[in-house]
Amino acid sequence: MKGRKWSIGIVILVIGATTMAASDPGYDRVTGLAHASRSEVIAPHGMAATSQPLATQIALDVLKAGGSAVDAAIAANAALGLMEPTGNGIGGDLFAIVWDAEKKELVGLNASGRAPKAMTLEYFQNHGIDSIPPFGPLPVSVPGAVDGWFELHDRYGRLSMKEILAPAIEYAREGFPVSEVIAYYFKSNEARIGQYPGFKETYMPNGHVPRKGEMFRNPRLANTLQRIADKGRDEFYKGSIAQQIDAFMAEQGGLLRYDDLAAHESEWVTPVSTNYRGWDVYELPPNGQGIAALQILNLLEGYDIASMGFGSAEYLHTLVEAKKLAFEDRARYYADMEFIDVPVETLVSKSYAETRRKLIDPNKASKALPAGDVKLEQGDTIYLTVADADGNMVSLIQSNYRGMGSGMIPGELGFVLQDRAELFSLDPDHANVVAGGKRPFHTIIPAFVMKDGEPLISFGLMGGAMQPQGHVQIVVNMVDFGMNLQEAGDAARINHAGSSQPTGSVMSDGGVLNLESRFTDETRKALEKMGHTLGTSDGSFGGYQAIMWDKKQGVYYGASEVRKDGQAAGY
């Protein structure tokens, strides 16, 4: 593959760096609650951080060939759709935040797809369906990722799409060795969607799903990506690919049709922010859940978090109660803003947080909480980040939902369609009620941090409802507890589950607080005494990647999740 000699050199350098101990003594490592698995990666010309080392190398190769940060991000995303189909692919959606160094502006892209026109509340009522199923043809919404690629490329691209997609196409034809984490997820997805047509032919060519270290090829996906590279985005939404999806979905009893694909377009949006102790943290507005992170940060800002101490019951209790409050608003208000007036400005305001903060009992876990009194007019995932030599940075997240998605693999196209429409509510009075042409509530969220008007950090943390919680923990770890970019991601995390959901289900008896195993028994007992129900240490705690810009030295810092197969590398 073109540029692969460069990649080998980078791998050697990064592996050498990972053996170094973190040098920052800014917090207590005695408990093992917070530690760095490796040092931060530092480079002057460019940086890429993805959940797959081969995808990171592809991104670097694109940068070295003269590509922009966006070109490299698209190339890495295309490769991840091949190498981690258990979390993303061109059958899913995409969101991005881009720092344009030339224009000195931060912009957002919502490349999520809409419900098919035939997907109405009446359809489900007439068929006696009281909840949208997680798999099969019914939860499939329009896949927005490919249009997202071309929107980003039209504005920020330098290389041709043929050049950008070439590495993923070559790996799809020649094969790549499956990593341990992805082999595990392949197995679990086989149990969920292995019975659907096309799964065995696409993902079990040797009679079983790919195993650790096994070379896996997807020539069907290679052909699909080649058609997109040659003919452009319209081949996917208006050409032969769209026609194949239409025919397959009609055959399977789904609602997605050619006209739904042909009508799709992404939306450029303005990121929303709040200031947390001097850091301007940016998220995208709904239909995603990003502003929940901003709401939680606003609530936490009213406390002296640093004095509580990382890993203390006092801090974790405060964090969980703030999360519960934000998620009640998430359940009530977050939805497609083309269909409903979401009071974003109010929800992320400091005055609103001050009012809501009064509901937090410092000594007792809440069992149920109300959503805020806001006047409302009715009306499994990958994350990657890339920065280039010109100072451009992109924060990009992309997903199928529920791992590999719906199980619907159209014909011989080589990818699974997402099942994101499962997240619609069937309650006619709910903001997120299903409607034809409406975008469902979305979990995937990219993040960005500015400081004093300058770009600081591009980061994300994948994992469903864990994402806003994870974003908050990363920011708090760095701002309040003094951790560096790598330590902030490696530190032990919590994940509170059971809050009220945008589909209509309500928090019952306070939910369940999951803690990673490194938290102490003393902390666990104190949380239980406060009334928290503790769950497993083996749950989903997300996957983190980040890039930080050091303006003074003119270098990038990179960090990659210890819980995944990922890699941060620069040049």
Angle at 468 between CA 190 and CA 75, to 5 degrees: 60
Q: Does residue 223 lie within any of the structural domains?
A: yes
Tell me: do 200 and 244 sit in the same domain.
Answer: yes
**Maximum C-alpha span of the chain:** 63
Domain boundary (423, 455, 477) is at 423
Tell me: do 281 and 245 sit in the same domain.
Answer: no
DSSP strand pairing (47-50 vs 567-570): antiparallel
Kindly indicate the confidence band of residue 372, based on its pLDDT and cuts at 50, 70 and 90: low
Contact 353, 301 (CB under 8 A): yes
CA 6/CA 237 separation, integer angstroms: 36
Tell me: do 129 and 167 sit in the same domain.
Answer: yes
495 to 319, 441, 473, 565, 566: CA distances (angstroms): 10, 20, 10, 21, 21
pLDDT tens, 310-322? 999 999 999 999 9
Q: Identify which has the larger pLDDT, 456 or 503.
A: 456
Residue 420 DSSP class:
G
Kindly indicate the confidence band of residue 59, based on its pLDDT and cuts at 50, 70 and 90: very high
Kindly indicate the confidence band of residue 381, based on its pLDDT and cuts at 50, 70 and 90: confident
Domain boundary (368, 395, 423) is at 423
Q: What is the dihedral of CA 91, 288, 541, 386, to 10 degrees?
A: 70
* pLDDT average, residue stretch 115-141: 97
Tell me: do 241 and 317 sit in the same domain.
Answer: no
Residue 68: partners with Cβ closer than 8 Å, 6 or more residues away: 156, 157, 158, 159, 388, 390, 392
In the predicted model, is pLDDT for residue 376 greater than 50? no
CA 473/CA 24 separation, integer angstroms: 19
The tally of CA atoms less than 13 A away on the side-chain side of residue 529 is: 10
Look at residue 536 in the predicted model and tell me its pLDDT: 81
Q: What are phi and psi of 66, to 5 degrees?
A: 100, 5
Domain with 367, as residue range(s), is 269-381+443-565
Q: Does residue 428 lie within any of the structural domains?
A: no
Domain boundary (359, 389, 423) is at 423
Tell me: do 417 and 373 sit in the same domain.
Answer: no
Contact 72, 547 (CB under 8 A): no
Q: Which of 475, 423, 420 is nearest to 447 (CA)?
A: 475
pLDDT tens, 318-358? 999 999 999 999 999 999 999 999 999 999 999 999 999 99
Q: Which of 492, 545, 571, 568 is nearest to 39 (CA)?
A: 568
In the predicted model, is pLDDT for residue 567 greater than 60? yes
Give the H or E element holding residue 428: none
Tell me: do 254 and 285 sit in the same domain.
Answer: no
What is the token pair recorded at 511? 């939910």
Q: Does residue 303 lie within any of the structural domains?
A: yes
pLDDT tens, 4-20? 333 323 332 333 333 23
Q: What are phi and psi of 327, to 5 degrees?
A: -75, -25
The total of structural domains in the chain comes to 2
Tell me: do 211 and 311 sit in the same domain.
Answer: no
Q: Does residue 28 lie within any of the structural domains?
A: no
Tell me: do 368 and 416 sit in the same domain.
Answer: no
Kindly indicate the confidence band of residue 539, based on its pLDDT and cuts at 50, 70 and 90: low
Q: Does residue 196 lie within any of the structural domains?
A: yes
Q: Does residue 78 lie within any of the structural domains?
A: yes
Tell me: do 329 and 204 sit in the same domain.
Answer: no
Tell me: do 470 and 347 sit in the same domain.
Answer: yes
pTM of the model: 0.92
pLDDT tens, 439-474? 999 999 999 999 999 999 999 998 888 999 999 999
Tell me: do 353 and 447 sit in the same domain.
Answer: yes
**Radius of gyration for the chain, computed over Cα atoms and rounded to the nearest angstrom:** 22
Tell me: do 479 and 337 sit in the same domain.
Answer: yes
Angle at 114 between CA 111 and CA 116, to 5 degrees: 150
Q: Is 381 a catalytic residue?
A: yes
Give the H or E element holding residue 532: none
Look at residue 379 in the predicted model and tell me its pLDDT: 26
Kindly indicate the confidence band of residue 86, based on its pLDDT and cuts at 50, 70 and 90: very high
Q: Does residue 392 lie within any of the structural domains?
A: no
The CATH number given to whatever domain includes residue 372 is 3.60.20.40
Q: Does residue 386 lie within any of the structural domains?
A: no
Indicate which residue of 120, 274, 381, 503 is catalytic: 381
